[in-house]
């Protein structure tokens, strides 16, 4: 009788994926990226283990947002002082810091524990089409492949 293998973070190999967000819908694309980071697209997925790959996100500034979220969705932060609340709309954040917008959306979809903190470090986000990770020979995922995840 053969035992089912149990994959740990040391025994699993990590592929590199490239995802182009040009024309993709913001929330749906972030959910697919989170699934790639966790490793749910792989047959050796093990809950509670870091079995996912690295994800390189290109064209973060060219995502699409449906409805009126560009003007009506607000992101709040507070300095801790009285009257220190600040907010930006989704449109302002997309214009000024699209990489951080994608990173924070994906981080919210990852587990909120040590594994999630380790997974978010495997996400590389860029605004253009160039990236410095060509030596890793990443697999370019088309829109159809990304939709199948």
- Is residue 80 assigned to a domain? yes
- Is residue 6 assigned to a domain? no
- Mean pLDDT of the residues in the chain: 93
Kindly list the strands in the beta sheet with 16-20, ordered across the sheet, starting from the edge strand earlier in the chain.
123-125, 54-58, 16-20, 139-141
- Is residue 142 assigned to a domain? yes
- Is residue 102 assigned to a domain? yes
Closest CA to 93 of 109, 112, 77, 117: 77
DSSP secondary structure code for residue 21 in this structure: -
- Report residue 35 as tokens: 């699934």
Band (pLDDT 50/70/90 cuts) for residue 111 is very high
> Phi and psi of 115, rounded to 5°?
-65, -40
Instruction: Please compute Rg for the chain using Cα positions.
Output: 17
- Is residue 9 assigned to a domain? no
Q: How far apart are CA 25 and CA 64, in angstroms?
A: 5
Q: What is the pTM of this model?
A: 0.91
Q: Is the pLDDT confidence value at 1 over 80?
A: no
Report the number of secondary-structure helices (H) and strands (E) in the chain: 6, 6
For residue 54, the domain's CATH number is 3.90.1180.10
Determine the pLDDT at residue 114: 94
Residue 93: give the domain boundaries. Answer: 16-147
Q: Is the pLDDT confidence value at 112 over 80?
A: yes
Determine the pLDDT at residue 143: 87
Closest CA to 19 of 126, 132, 97, 136: 126
Residues in CB range of 144: below 8 A, 6 or more apart: none
Band (pLDDT 50/70/90 cuts) for residue 116 is very high
Q: Is the pLDDT confidence value at 29 over 90?
A: yes
Number of domains the chain contains: 1
- Is residue 113 assigned to a domain? yes
């Amino acid at each position: 009788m053969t035992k089912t293998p149990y994959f740990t973070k040391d025994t699993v190999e990590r592929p590199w994926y490239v995802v182009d967000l040009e024309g993709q819908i913001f929330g749906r694309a972030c959910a697919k990226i989170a699934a790639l980071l966790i490793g749910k697209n792989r047959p050796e997925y093990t809950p509670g283990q870091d079995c996912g790959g690295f994800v390189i996100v290109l064209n973060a500034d060219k995502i699409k947002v449906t409805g009126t979220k560009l003007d009506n969705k607000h992101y709040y932060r507070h300095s801790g002082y009285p009257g220190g609340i600040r907010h930006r709309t989704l449109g302002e954040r997309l214009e000024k810091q699209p990489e951080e917008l994608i990173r924070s959306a994906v981080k919210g979809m990852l587990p909120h524990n040590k594994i999630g903190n380790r997974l978010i470090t495997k996400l590389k986000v860029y605004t253009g089409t160039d990236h410095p990770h060509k030596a890793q020979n990443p697999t370019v995922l088309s829109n159809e492949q990304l939709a199948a995840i």
